A and B are shown apart, each in its own frame.
Chain A
Amino acid sequence: MAAPSTDLSAALVLASPQLADWLVVLPVVLMIGFGAVLMMVRKSVRLHGTIAITGLALLVLLDAALLIRISTYGPITMVMGRWLPPFGIAFTADLFGSLMAFVSAVVALAAGVFALRDIDAGGRRYGFFPFLMLLMAGVSGAFLTGDIFNLYVWFEVLLISSFGLLILGSEPEQIDGALKYAVLNLIGTTLFLIAVGYLYAIFGTLNMADIAGKASRLRETAPLVTLTALFILAFAMKAAAFPVNFWLPASYHTPRITVSALFGGLLTKVGIYALIRVTVMLFPVEREELSFVVAVSAALTMVIGALGALAQNDLRRLVGYVVIAGIGNMMAGVAIGTPAAVSGSILYALHSVVTMTALYLVAGEAARLGGAWSLSGLGGLYRRAPWFSAASLALFLAAAGLPPLSGLWPKVALLKASLDIGAWWLAAAILISAFIVTLALARVFLLAFWRPRPEPAPELAIARDWRIAWPLGCLTALSILFGLFPETVLDLSQRAATGLAEPSAYIRSVFPGGAAP
């Protein structure tokens, strides 16, 4: 067969990619591959744990390599099938995306190890581990893609896997929670899709680097504020920001606790990631126009989330509200929009991925030790499990934002940023929310850990289990390390925020030859 004689350089990337460029697609490929293998051995549930943990450990290594590579050499792009961007689908990872991908992988590994204990053979036969792999494929894809329609596709992938995880066990209350979750999330995803459609009509491109480059030219004529408002609404729904937050406490307490932990840690943060990516990098001027609305929503989200946490009796619902309070903090950074504030949001997101997952795991372990999910039924955990209680206290302090733990630095950054622009009420909301969350979590510690057990229960001999101790211990250690030695993470998140505010390196990585055609 004769080779075609046309000039291929007009359509294809002819330079062969460096091996390191593969790091940007491999996390997703790895997760889909492992998910596929797990589906093939679906009935041999004994193998699932080993295969899944191997896969997640490899994912952590790949994401670590990607993060190191990007922090040294800048953003990496690979375009599927050699097509020239913006026509081919580009995977572009910058510091922000790779940081989030790395932290999610670590948390997924911890949750996977915890699941070895928490998910019994029945849950595995329903496909917990294949769903977990596909969920991580969706999450990694969302963090690493450089194409906004592709971002939508990864949202769908993680949404569908999350439906599967949510109804693991098929209990009536799970179906009830899943219905609320599914309807609200499908509406959010549809809004996102509609917004992408408008965007394509305006720009004629879906590549994010291309959009960022073209936005300044189209700003005079195109209704970009409307478009940005649609995106903000869609992502706020995903992230569970007020007033579209009610699906989260209605559904996150129903599934297995590992699933809640994964959802609370990862899924809402994917929404925040997309929000920051679209508003800060693609439409900064429009974000400025809408910043007051976002700020009000952020302040209300923080305060309502914190108040909700104070009012709850069920541990899982309580943690759900703490997640929402954190979302408000991250939205505050988006509303302020200066690089310092965005770096505060990124820091908060990293802290929140680790801490919220760990809090759900604490809730699960507390319920296993104490035999109840409710604060009124729990008690005496400190006497029974001092190490576990110490770790829980550390995580509570971290979630509340008290020194010397990881929650402090993002809150300091956000406070400073909001005072810098004179938004004293936003700063006040951050402080009030932190105060109420402290109260709520102190209440948990007081009732569930310090208080003697409300009833003299039969002392069950509950053995210490590495599958619980290691994930909880490692996540707590991460949180403490970040609190005590914040320099590296602070520096990384500041550079990530600068990269978003001034995306020239991102654009150059997609279009090495210069401006988009």
Chain B
Amino acid sequence: MNTLILRTVAPVLTALMLLFSVFVLLRGHNEPGGGFIGGLIAASALAIYGIAFGVSAVRRAIRFHPMAIAGSGLLLATLSGLVSIFAGVPFMTGLWIYPEILGVEVPLATVMSFDIGVYLVVVGAITSIALALEQEEPERAEAIGEQPPPPVRAKRPRKPRPKPQVEG
């Protein structure tokens, strides 16, 4: 969409929404919010950016492939569950540390890192879908890094060969 209004507003809107998504993510620990909804907000921010400036602009802006972001989130969430093996408590038990940062006690938990993982999974997965839908057909193959499927796979013939022509 090539309108002046959207293109002017989109960067501001995207930045604000991304900021807000982090706020929702952190707020979700004790109040309504959380990784899932925060991730959805961030993904819609990127989608708006994509509508205004095109898909490749978004891909450049987020640097990593959305699926890689989702993968890192999944890994982070899994590892947060595994931390409890060192504390002698069952899988996925919430563990807390209270470091003093700049004189303020900041409670940090594996629950939070799990939630950040969820956030990343949702951002990655939804952005991936949104970008694929926004993309024009020809640039899709090249931008996702997928080769168009090979026309014929020579190794795995699917059809029976034509019957031999029996002479006579």
The interface of chain A, by Cβ under 8 A from chain B, is 1, 13, 16-17, 21-22, 25, 29, 32-33, 35-43, 78-82, 91, 120-122, 125-127, 130, 169-171, 256-257, 367-368, 371-374, 376-377, 454-455, 457
Output the least CB separation between A305 and chain B (Å): 24
Q: Bound state CA distance, A245 and B168, in angstroms?
A: 45
Interface assignment of B75: CB less than 8 Å from any CB of chain A: yes
A-contacting residues, B87-101, CB 8 Å: 88-94, 98
* B74 near A372: Cβ-Cβ < 8 Å: no
Output the least CB separation between A502 and chain B (Å): 27
**Which of chain A's residues have a CB closer than 8 A to the CB of B157?**
367, 371-373
The interface of chain B, by Cβ under 8 A from chain A, is 65, 67-68, 70-75, 78-79, 81-82, 85, 88-94, 98, 105, 107, 145-147, 149-150, 153, 155-161, 163-164
Set B91, B98, B147, B160: member contacting A22, Cβ < 8 A:
B91
User: Given contacts A32-B78, A37-B71, A37-B75, are A81 and B92 in contact (CB under 8 A)?
Assistant: yes
User: Given contacts A22-B85, A372-B157, A373-B160, are A42 and B92 in contact (CB under 8 A)?
Assistant: no
Set B67, B90, B156: member contacting A78, Cβ < 8 A:
B90
Output the least CB separation between A389 and chain B (Å): 20
Q: List 24 A-B contacts (CB under 8 A).
A: A16-B88, A16-B89, A29-B82, A29-B91, A33-B79, A38-B71, A40-B68, A41-B68, A42-B68, A42-B71, A81-B91, A81-B92, A91-B91, A121-B147, A130-B71, A257-B156, A367-B156, A367-B157, A371-B161, A372-B159, A372-B161, A373-B157, A454-B163, A457-B161
Residue from A39, A91, A171, A377 having most chain B Cβ neighbours under 10 A:
A39
* B160 near A17: Cβ-Cβ < 8 Å: no
Set B75, B92, B105: member contacting A40, Cβ < 8 A:
B75
Set A80, A367, A368: member contacting B92, Cβ < 8 A:
A80
Task: Select from chain B the residue with minimum beta-carbon distance to A125.
Answer: B146
**Which of chain B's residues have a CB closer than 8 A to the CB of A81?**
90-94
* A122 near B150: Cβ-Cβ < 8 Å: yes
Q: Bound state CA distance, A42 and B153, in angstroms?
A: 22
Set B81, B89, B147: member contacting A125, Cβ < 8 A:
B147
**Which of chain A's residues have a CB closer than 8 A to the CB of B94?**
81
Q: Bound state CA distance, A43 and B155, in angstroms?
A: 23
**Which of chain B's residues have a CB closer than 8 A to the CB of A33?**
75, 78-79
* A36 near B161: Cβ-Cβ < 8 Å: no
Q: Bound state CA distance, A373 and B160, in angstroms?
A: 7
Task: Select from chain A the residue with minimum beta-carbon distance to B87.
Answer: A16
Set B85, B147, B160: member contacting A377, Cβ < 8 A:
B160
**Ordered nearest first, which 6 A-B pairs have the shortest CB separation?**
A39-B71, A36-B74, A16-B88, A377-B160, A36-B75, A40-B71
Q: Bound state CA distance, A1 and B100, in angstroms?
A: 12
**Which of chain A's residues have a CB closer than 8 A to the CB of B153?**
120, 169
Given contacts A35-B71, A122-B146, list 18 more A-B pairs with CB under 8 A: A13-B90, A17-B90, A22-B91, A36-B75, A37-B71, A37-B75, A40-B71, A41-B68, A80-B91, A81-B92, A81-B94, A82-B89, A169-B153, A367-B157, A371-B161, A373-B158, A454-B164, A455-B161
* B75 near A455: Cβ-Cβ < 8 Å: no
**Which of chain A's residues have a CB closer than 8 A to the CB of B82?**
29
Output the least CB separation between B122 and chain A (Å): 14
* B91 near A36: Cβ-Cβ < 8 Å: no
Q: Bound state CA distance, A40 and B68, in angstroms?
A: 4
* A80 near B90: Cβ-Cβ < 8 Å: yes
Task: Select from chain A the residue with minimum beta-carbon distance to B117.
Answer: A36
* A43 near B65: Cβ-Cβ < 8 Å: yes
* B147 near A122: Cβ-Cβ < 8 Å: yes
Q: Bound state CA distance, A37 and B73, in angstroms?
A: 10
Q: Bound state CA distance, A82 and B95, in angstroms?
A: 11
**Which of chain A's residues have a CB closer than 8 A to the CB of B71?**
35-40, 42, 130
User: Given contacts A39-B70, A81-B93, are A17 and B88 in contact (CB under 8 A)?
Assistant: yes
Q: Bound state CA distance, A1 and B109, in angstroms?
A: 14
**Which of chain B's residues have a CB closer than 8 A to the CB of A373?**
157-158, 160
Task: Select from chain A the residue with minimum beta-carbon distance to B85.
Answer: A22
* B67 near A42: Cβ-Cβ < 8 Å: yes
Set B79, B91, B155: member contacting A368, Cβ < 8 A:
B155
Residue from B91, B105, B153, B158 having most chain A Cβ neighbours under 10 A:
B91
**Which of chain A's residues have a CB closer than 8 A to the CB of B73?**
36
**Which of chain B's residues have a CB closer than 8 A to the CB of A256?**
156
**Which of chain B's residues have a CB closer than 8 A to the CB of A42?**
65, 67-68, 71, 145
**Which of chain B's residues have a CB closer than 8 A to the CB of A374?**
160
Q: Bound state CA distance, A454 and B150, in angstroms?
A: 29
* A170 near B78: Cβ-Cβ < 8 Å: no
**Which of chain A's residues have a CB closer than 8 A to the CB of B160?**
372-374, 376-377
* A78 near B91: Cβ-Cβ < 8 Å: yes
Output the least CB separation between A101 and chain B (Å): 17
* A32 near B74: Cβ-Cβ < 8 Å: yes
* A25 near B91: Cβ-Cβ < 8 Å: yes
* A43 near B74: Cβ-Cβ < 8 Å: no
* B107 near A39: Cβ-Cβ < 8 Å: no
Q: Bound state CA distance, A256 and B155, in angstroms?
A: 12
* B146 near A126: Cβ-Cβ < 8 Å: yes
**Which of chain A's residues have a CB closer than 8 A to the CB of B161?**
371-372, 377, 455, 457
Q: Bound state CA distance, A78 and B88, in angstroms?
A: 12
Q: Bound state CA distance, A355 and B137, in angstroms?
A: 43
Q: Bound state CA distance, A22 and B160, in angstroms?
A: 51
Q: Bound state CA distance, A362 and B164, in angstroms?
A: 25
Q: Bound state CA distance, A368 and B161, in angstroms?
A: 13
Output the least CB separation between A475 and chain B (Å): 21
Set A43, A82, A169: member contacting B93, Cβ < 8 A:
A82
